[in-house]
């Protein structure tokens, strides 16, 4: 069976068949992951985009990010059932971006599709993504959701405003386009994964290596009532990571802040000198204003030191060799749940060890 759009599948068979690697970071996928993989089955047999381009999902890479549920058991079952499914085991939870980069590094497809494990991303949009990438010669195609996200009003507004600020202040591409449902050129994704350092924000890193970015409309499906794994603190941490990995713009802003404060100080100094020469009263009436200026300057200094310290921390982590992620063997082969001694043999049973009394 070949999934196809309005164009006849036979016309596309004469063209090159594009191979796709699907990367799914898994944190809480126990209830939803099976349905997501089953939705990808028709595309693993071969499909045709609405524009008549043949493609095939040749592999689905599940990256186990050590979530709190039993996703590992579901992943093993899917790998045993479907030959195109493979698993990457991470040594601990490294976060969605690091897990996605790990999957990209292990991919082999001409294109890499990244998606979530919760079922909100509709695989029916894959063909549209590929058509957009080919038509616009884009290295990255992001989903452009045509409906509102199932989040609270405050969270949605905060997310949009923070991304707009990043685009305006930190000279990033339109950060409002950043989504976890994206299509990336395979060679770009794998080479990026080779040099991405710890703490990197994937979409910022993609903006370093390609200036051809496009979007494709799609519908964000319901999350089936599942609570988001990101708290406000976690979302702020992701925002701050975007700031730190956007380059040295943050440090430049610190310099600008210092220049503004120095200019204000110079203006005040000129005012004081002129007042003295003019014989104006220079009593203690300005005490409140002085305290305000001191507090503002002290706060600006502390904030600036904090920003500089964060940049130094990122550099230290990289120089110490802290990995972005670490792929390990299947934990089941290292520490099988049934034990190495079998079901009948128990610790302390059988022949006594050397040095024990019979």
**Per-domain boundaries in the chain:** 13-230, 249-319
Confidence of residue 239 (pLDDT cuts 50, 70, 90): low
Q: Which of the residue ranges 6-20, 55-69, 341-355 would you say has the lowest mean pLDDT?
A: 341-355
Pairwise pLDDT comparison (44 vs 255), residue with the higher score: 44
Of 8-12, 65-69, 202-206, 334-338, where does the model show the most confidence? 65-69
* Distance between CA atoms of residues 22 and 26, nearest Å: 12
**What is the predicted pLDDT for the residue at 231?**
54
The pLDDT of 252-280, averaged and rounded, is: 70
Q: Over 90: is that where the pLDDT of 218 sits?
A: yes
Pairwise pLDDT comparison (322 vs 230), residue with the higher score: 322
Contact (Cβ atoms closer than 8 angstroms) between residue 130 and residue 53: yes
Q: Over 70: is that where the pLDDT of 79 sits?
A: yes
Q: Given the DSSP bridges, would you call strands 85-90 and 327-328 parallel, antiparallel or unpaired?
A: antiparallel
The pLDDT of 69-98, averaged and rounded, is: 94
**What is the predicted pLDDT for the residue at 8?**
47
Contact (Cβ atoms closer than 8 angstroms) between residue 236 and residue 159: no
Q: Over 60: is that where the pLDDT of 153 sits?
A: no
Q: Which of 338, 169, 323, 132 is nearest to 250 (CA)?
A: 169
Q: Which of 121, 122, 133 is nearest to 51 (CA)?
A: 133
Give percent above pLDDT 70 in the chain.
59
Q: At what angle do helices 96-106 and 202-209 cross, to 10 degrees?
A: 50
**What is the predicted pLDDT for the residue at 201?**
79
**What is the predicted pLDDT for the residue at 26?**
96
Mean pLDDT over the full length of the chain = 76
Confidence of residue 270 (pLDDT cuts 50, 70, 90): confident
Q: Over 70: is that where the pLDDT of 230 sits?
A: no
**What is the predicted pLDDT for the residue at 312?**
72
**What is the predicted pLDDT for the residue at 143?**
94
* Distance between CA atoms of residues 250 and 171, nearest Å: 11
**SS3 label, residue 30:** coil
Pairwise pLDDT comparison (272 vs 319), residue with the higher score: 272
**SS3 label, residue 21:** strand
Distances (CA, A) of 280 to 267, 270, 274, 285: 17, 14, 9, 12
Buried b (16+ CB within 10 A) or exposed e, 33-70: bbebbeebebbbebbbbebbbbbbbbbbbbbbbbbeee
pLDDT tens digits along 283-341: 556 655 676 677 677 777 767 776 776 667 666 556 555 677 788 888 877 766 654 43
Of 142-146, 175-179, 268-272, where does the model show the most confidence? 142-146
Pick the CATH number of 13-230 from 3.40.190.10, 1.10.3720.10, 3.90.550.10, 3.60.40.10: 3.90.550.10
Pairwise pLDDT comparison (174 vs 300), residue with the higher score: 300
Pairwise pLDDT comparison (137 vs 154), residue with the higher score: 137
**What is the predicted pLDDT for the residue at 241?**
59
- Per this entry, what is the length of the chain? 358
Pairwise pLDDT comparison (249 vs 32), residue with the higher score: 32
Confidence of residue 61 (pLDDT cuts 50, 70, 90): very high
* Distance between CA atoms of residues 183 and 20, nearest Å: 9
């Amino acid at each position: 069976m070949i999934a196809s759009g309005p164009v006849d599948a036979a016309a596309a068979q004469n063209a090159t068949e594009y191979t796709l690697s699907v990367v799914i970071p898994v944190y809480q996928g126990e209830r939803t992951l099976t349905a997501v993989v089953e939705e990808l089955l028709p595309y693993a047999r071969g499909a045709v985009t609405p524009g008549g381009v043949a493609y095939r999902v040749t592999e689905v890479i599940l990256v186990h990010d050590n979530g709190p549920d039993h996703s590992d058991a579901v992943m093993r079952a899917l790998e045993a059932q479907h030959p195109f499914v493979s698993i990457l085991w991470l040594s601990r939870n490294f976060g969605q971006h690091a897990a996605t980069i790990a999957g990209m590094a292990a991919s082999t497809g001409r294109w890499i599709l990244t998606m979530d494990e919760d079922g909100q991303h509709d695989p029916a949009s894959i063909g549209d993504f590929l058509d957009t990438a080919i038509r616009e010669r884009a290295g990255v195609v992001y989903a452009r959701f045509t409906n509102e996200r199932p989040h609270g009003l405050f969270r949605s507004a905060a997310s949009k405003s923070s991304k707009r600020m990043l685009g305006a202040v930190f000279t990033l591409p339109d950060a409002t386009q950043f989504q976890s449902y994206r299509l990336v050129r395979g060679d770009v994704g794998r080479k990026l994964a080779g040099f991405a350092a710890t703490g990197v924000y994937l979409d910022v890193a993609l903006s370093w290596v390609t200036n051809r970015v496009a979007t494709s409309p799609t519908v964000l499906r319901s999350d089936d009532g599942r609570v988001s794994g990101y708290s406000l603190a976690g979302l702020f941490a992701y925002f701050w990571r975007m700031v730190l990995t956007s380059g040295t713009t943050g440090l430049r802003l610190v310099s600008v802040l210092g220049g503004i404060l120095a200019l204000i100080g110079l203006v005040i100094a000129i005012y004081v000198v002129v007042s003295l020469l003019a014989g104006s009263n220079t009593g203690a009436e300005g005490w409140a204003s002085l305290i305000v200026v001191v507090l503002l300057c002290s706060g600006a200094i502390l904030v600036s030191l904090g920003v500089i310290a964060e940049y130094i921390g990122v550099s230290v982590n990289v120089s110490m060799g802290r990995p972005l992620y670490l792929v390990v063997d299947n934990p089941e082969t290292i520490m099988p749940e049934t034990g190495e001694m079998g079901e009948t043999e128990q610790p302390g049973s059988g022949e006594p060890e050397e040095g024990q009394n019979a």
